[in-house]
A and B are shown apart, each in its own frame.
Chain A
């Protein structure tokens, strides 16, 4: 059922995909052929990039939904924290390729399987950070909130969750970057994205494709990280000032 990849380069040397009029650089398989890259960006790299972003966004979104609900539940019912933590830690420790391969036996080779795996990896960090964020709200603030007549629900949504946002966002950042990385491996089981380009390149031995796809994945991760930091700063204007707590 697994996609079979023969990973040793073909005996007669690397097979260079010939898109017609291959430049000298490509034919000789140099490290990185700029012209080939720009020439094929729209047809090859852009769709893969978009696919990769989609993959990541769906995984982090679902992971956030699950982990967030679980964390709030654990915040209110403290017994829940440890079991869920252990479960997500367990999932997290399983090496990605192995997890994907095992999942494939159950749900087949498709994007859905990949998403299940990716979501599992986000759970630990999102859950842990959200819960820690909630638990880090100064007790004095909660006391003030209850004393002035906020219902428990109002306290949760207007006070506790907003104050947990920095920790939550930190978790989302880490989860996003991690997922971008794991999504490259997920291509192995048919998820597409930049990983697919890497695997193709491994098969064909075409260096430019390696380097380009790899560099794009790295760039995507770093850009996503920076963007999320900016978003975090924008939605927590108060954290720029030192808050006095007793």
Chain B
């Protein structure tokens, strides 16, 4: 189930060409006006394609009937757009109803999805959208998009209007959901941190064109040009540490003394590890298992080596030797 993306639409999007693998979350990101939303909306033809093709599983989106196409694609967007006059159950059941599902089947599906998105599968069925907070409404929005089990989900800045704390939770919950459900997702955002967190692949766009398509780590390690480097942030070195954890390192032996003052777990991000080192004034910290037993330690230079560019790897041990004293 692959989505191919060659597309051309006025100057808004030009010569955009890439493929999204099945079950992958592909994030489109770029500055305002770069065409990311336009590109997204061309998939379900909310915006028409002037030139080029978008194919889903080999089938051109233009060859399918518009209604049929859209009923097979889940769409979540920033303003949510839940139907205020329908209960949650009916909102989620919007597309299934169009497809002719029975009432029982719809209700079961709605319950199932409510549970999946973290809401009350029984009590919330009959409530109305107006009774929920913004974050909860968007959860319902996601459930609604998934109701008819579409091949693809399009998400246009879905968490943009939600407060940062709720947004963080929503992102985590969506990632957890995605691990279970494995849909192909195209996700638009303008927030680089969200992109790095959510995306299996990230496509950076500018002025309607694709600038770089890479994984989060690749993007941070080797930005294609000045623009990308600035876009991902000047602290991209540190950012890389967020996506790695202690388990990515080969552990040194555990130590006692100063280094035992604080400890890390195997799933602690390297970003947190480094932060602890700086806060405690250490260059080496022990790693413990769930029971608190030391199983090794992490050294500053090991972290540095992991994220250093390949050519300085040889020089690093020498520099690290002197700094770890």
Give Cα A149 to B68, complex, Å: 7
Q: What are the nearest 8 A-B pairs in CB distance? A: A144-B81, A241-B130, A140-B79, A149-B70, A149-B71, A140-B81, A147-B75, A243-B130
Q: What chain A residues lie within 8 Å of B82 (beta carbons)? A: 141, 144
Interface size on B, residues (CB 8 A): 36
Residue numbers of A with Cβ under 8 A of B are: 138-151, 154, 159, 162-163, 165, 236-238, 241-246
Contact with A along B68-102 (1 / 0, CB 8 A): 11111111011111111110000000110010000
Min C-beta distance of A81 to chain B, whole Å = 24
Give Cα A244 to B80, complex, Å: 10
Is B44 an interface residue when CB atoms closer than 8 A count as contact?
yes
Give Cα A142 to B188, complex, Å: 20
Is B312 an interface residue when CB atoms closer than 8 A count as contact?
no
Q: What chain B residues lie within 8 Å of A241 (beta carbons)? A: 128, 130-131
Cβ contacts A to B, 18 pairs, < 8 Å: A138-B81, A141-B82, A143-B81, A144-B83, A144-B141, A147-B73, A148-B70, A148-B74, A149-B68, A149-B70, A150-B67, A150-B98, A159-B83, A165-B85, A236-B85, A242-B130, A243-B84, A245-B79
Give Cα A242 to B82, complex, Å: 13
The answer to whether A143 and B79 have CB atoms under 8 Å apart is: yes
Q: Which residue of A lies closest to B99 (CB)?
A: A149
Is B134 an interface residue when CB atoms closer than 8 A count as contact?
yes
Min C-beta distance of A151 to chain B, whole Å = 6
Q: Which residue of A lies closest to B137 (CB)?
A: A244
Is B278 an interface residue when CB atoms closer than 8 A count as contact?
no
Min C-beta distance of A157 to chain B, whole Å = 12
The answer to whether B128 and A237 have CB atoms under 8 Å apart is: yes
The answer to whether B78 and A246 have CB atoms under 8 Å apart is: yes
The answer to whether B128 and A140 have CB atoms under 8 Å apart is: no
- If the complex has contacts A143-B77, A241-B130, A243-B129, are A148 and B95 also in contact, measured as CB distance less than 8 A? yes
Is B308 an interface residue when CB atoms closer than 8 A count as contact?
no
Residue of A138, A148, A242 touching B71 (CB-CB under 8 A): A148
Additional 18 contacts, C-beta under 8 A, given A141-B84, A144-B82? A140-B80, A141-B81, A141-B82, A142-B81, A143-B79, A143-B81, A147-B77, A148-B145, A149-B66, A149-B68, A149-B69, A149-B95, A165-B85, A238-B85, A238-B129, A241-B131, A242-B130, A246-B80
Q: What chain B residues lie within 8 Å of A238 (beta carbons)? A: 84-86, 128-130
Is B166 an interface residue when CB atoms closer than 8 A count as contact?
no
- If the complex has contacts A163-B84, A246-B78, A246-B161, are A147 and B44 also in contact, measured as CB distance less than 8 A? yes
The answer to whether A246 and B79 have CB atoms under 8 Å apart is: yes
Q: How many A-B residue pairs have CB under 8 A?
A: 89
Q: Which residue of A lies closest to B79 (CB)?
A: A140
Is B313 an interface residue when CB atoms closer than 8 A count as contact?
no
Give Cα A143 to B79, complex, Å: 9
Q: What chain B residues lie within 8 Å of A146 (beta carbons)? A: 46, 70
Q: Which residue of B lies closest to A148 (CB)?
A: B95
Give Cα A144 to B78, complex, Å: 11
Q: What chain B residues lie within 8 Å of A141 (beta carbons)? A: 81-84
Q: What chain A residues lie within 8 Å of B69 (beta carbons)? A: 149
Give Cα A226 to B134, complex, Å: 35
Give Cα A243 to B94, complex, Å: 19
The answer to whether B130 and A151 have CB atoms under 8 Å apart is: no
The answer to whether A147 and B70 have CB atoms under 8 Å apart is: yes
Q: Which residue of B lies closest to A162 (CB)?
A: B85
Q: Which residue of A lies closest to B69 (CB)?
A: A149
Q: What chain B residues lie within 8 Å of A159 (beta carbons)? A: 83, 85
Give Cα A165 to B84, complex, Å: 12
Min C-beta distance of B138 to chain A, whole Å = 11
Give Cα A236 to B81, complex, Å: 18
Give Cα A148 to B78, complex, Å: 15
Give Cα A149 to B148, complex, Å: 12
Give Cα A151 to B134, complex, Å: 27
Min C-beta distance of B153 to chain A, whole Å = 11
The answer to whether A149 and B67 have CB atoms under 8 Å apart is: yes
Within 8 A of A (CB), among B148-181: 161
Q: Which residue of A lies closest to B147 (CB)?
A: A148
Q: Which residue of A lies closest to B78 (CB)?
A: A246
Residue of A140, A150, A165 touching B77 (CB-CB under 8 A): A140
Give Cα A78 to B46, complex, Å: 22
